[in-house]
Amino acid sequence: MSDIIKLLPDSLANQIAAGEVVQRPASAVKELLENALDAGATQIKLIIKDAGKTLIQVVDNGSGMSETDARMCFERHATSKITTVDDLFKLHTFGFRGEAMASIAAVAQVSMRTRPANQELGTHLVIEGSVVRVQESCQTAVGTNISVKNLFYNVPARRQFLKADPIENRHIIDEFQHVALANPDVHFSLFNNEVEVFDLPPAPLRKRIVGIFGNTYNDKLVPVEESSIDFLKINGFVGKPDSARKTRGEQFFFVNDRFIRSSYLNHAVASAYDELLSAKSFPFYVLFLDIDPQRIDVNVHPTKQEIKFDDEKAIYALLHAAVRRALSKNSITPSLDFDQDPIITAAFQQTNQPKAPLPLPNFGQSGKKNEEQPTFGQSFNREKNAVPRNWKDIYTIMEQHNVQNSDFDTEQNNEQNKHCPKPRPLPYKATLTTKLLYCPPMPIVLHLPLINCTANI
């Protein structure tokens, strides 16, 4: 039987590695931004087009690279961060595997210009699908300018699985925020389709948070600081309970300035808000854990967003206590607001005021004319100037009103009389010139001035 195991070519091996390292445009953004920070850059500009599918460009003023280093950075497992196994447990940099640039160059068209400060000329490289197309000297500023174009152009199956532009943009902004929060002393800017989205000059952490999330967060931040333990220091900010949201989107853990995800540590913070938050509400926090690198292992996840602690229970207890102490120190406890809203107070006062008595109808007095309030006759027939002085006058006014509406009443009565026998006199005498129609099986229709009522007798 012949041998069937073969060594894969570098181009194919790089594409396989890219499946883990470069999952979407945001993955490439993360790697390029971290490389710029590792180079000591103090000013980093990120430019994207079409959600990173067409262009991802990172420009920094870092240390730059020589021609040899520029070429070597695209080789697999080529790195300047570690040299021995022990270095894996002494990491103070973001990158260390030497896979990112090789993986990106395997699935995109990459152009890079770089120059160190001690050289007059820089290096220009163009790589497409792990193949070097151009390598030459060029004039360029100190630092590195790298462009990643047409991501997954040679892997159509990967490209068609990318989400819509708004979703991919959201992932890119998330990665940008992670790096910007972890490095408030660096000037970051983000341009999306030639539109400036963020411009974050160097600033303290509180101002950096406000610059990213908005001015409304300034009054909602509670500082957290714990440095009593030798191997662990905790600092950052948590949000007041009234700033909690229904989603976990604005929760950030950084261990040695590296963004991580940890449901275990998240529970430590959430439990510190015990009885301060409603159900299914999540607090805002930006917390930094500075820990001895020998007590953690960052090489357990392809994107290094999950790490292991040598004593998670101790970290949990210290984090919980630090957050709880910060909330107590700032008097963040449930309270009842006894201050009445002005509108509610005014309404309450109005309801307690005695109600004014309803005005009684003024029929006028015999021989006197009341000029202060309109009489019953004036409100009933405003066209009459005479004021009724007794019941007889009232009956006269009502009779005049009935005569004016007699035509309408006659037509209405004729229509109703078609369906009932000839009316017969009632056993009692109608007064006030009221017209009554009585049908034994039908209801009685009373036609009073200004009032039509129907009653069963």
Q: Which range (13-27, 147-161, 284-298, 328-342) has the least confidence?
A: 328-342
Q: What is the mean pLDDT of residues 356-369?
A: 51
| Whether 315 and 364 share a structural domain | no
Q: How many domains does the chain have?
A: 4
| Whether 101 and 153 share a structural domain | yes
Q: What is the mean pLDDT of residues 90-115?
A: 79
Q: Where are the alpha helices (DSSP H) in 137-198?
A: 156-159, 165-182
Reply yes or no on whether the pLDDT at 404 is more than 60.
Answer: no
| Whether 185 and 299 share a structural domain | no
Q: What is the pLDDT of residues 176-185, one digit of tens each?
A: 999 999 999 9
More confident residue, 192 or 304: 192
| Whether 72 and 193 share a structural domain | yes
What is the Cβ-side half-sphere exposure of residue 87, based on CA atoms within 13 angstroms? 11
Domain-located, residue 237:
yes
Q: What is the mean pLDDT of residues 362-376?
A: 49
| Whether 191 and 169 share a structural domain | yes
| Whether 123 and 181 share a structural domain | yes
Reply yes or no on whether the pLDDT at 2 is more than 60.
Answer: yes
Q: Which residues pair with 360 in a beta bridge?
A: none
Q: Is 238 in contact with 219 (CB distance < 8 Å)?
A: no
Q: How confident is the model at residue 102 (pLDDT cuts 50, 70, 90)?
A: confident
Q: What percent of the chain clears pLDDT 70, i.e. is strictly above it?
A: 65
Q: What is the mean pLDDT of residues 436-457?
A: 46
The pLDDT score that the predictor gives to residue 166 is 94
Domain-located, residue 341:
no
Q: Which range (1-15, 243-257, 275-289, 318-332) has the least confidence?
A: 1-15
What is the separation, in whole angstroms, between the first and last Cα of the chain? 113
| Whether 39 and 177 share a structural domain | yes
pTM of the model: 0.68
Q: Which range (194-198, 396-400, 428-432) has the least confidence?
A: 428-432
Q: How confident is the model at residue 307 (pLDDT cuts 50, 70, 90)?
A: confident
| Whether 170 and 60 share a structural domain | yes
Domain-located, residue 136:
yes
| Whether 181 and 313 share a structural domain | no
Domain-located, residue 78:
yes
Please give the torsion angle defined by the CA atoms of residues 400, 402, 403 and 405, in that order, rounded to the nearest 10 degrees: 130
| Whether 156 and 241 share a structural domain | no
In which domain, by residue range, is 433 found?
418-457
Domain-located, residue 391:
yes
Domain boundary among 136, 171, 202: 202
Kindly provide the b/e burial profile for residues 4-26, where b requires at least 16 CB atoms within 10 angstroms of the residue's own CB. eeeeeeeeebbbebbeebbbbbb
Q: Which range (74-78, 215-219, 283-287, 340-344) has the least confidence?
A: 340-344
Reply yes or no on whether the pLDDT at 329 is more than 80.
Answer: yes
Domain-located, residue 3:
no
Alpha-carbon gap, residue 161 to 451, rounded angstroms: 75
CATH code assigned at 38: 3.30.565.10
Domain-located, residue 350:
no
Q: Is 17 in contact with 302 (CB distance < 8 Å)?
A: no
The pLDDT score that the predictor gives to residue 301 is 63
| Whether 296 and 252 share a structural domain | yes
Query: What mean pLDDT, rounded, does the chain reach?
Result: 77
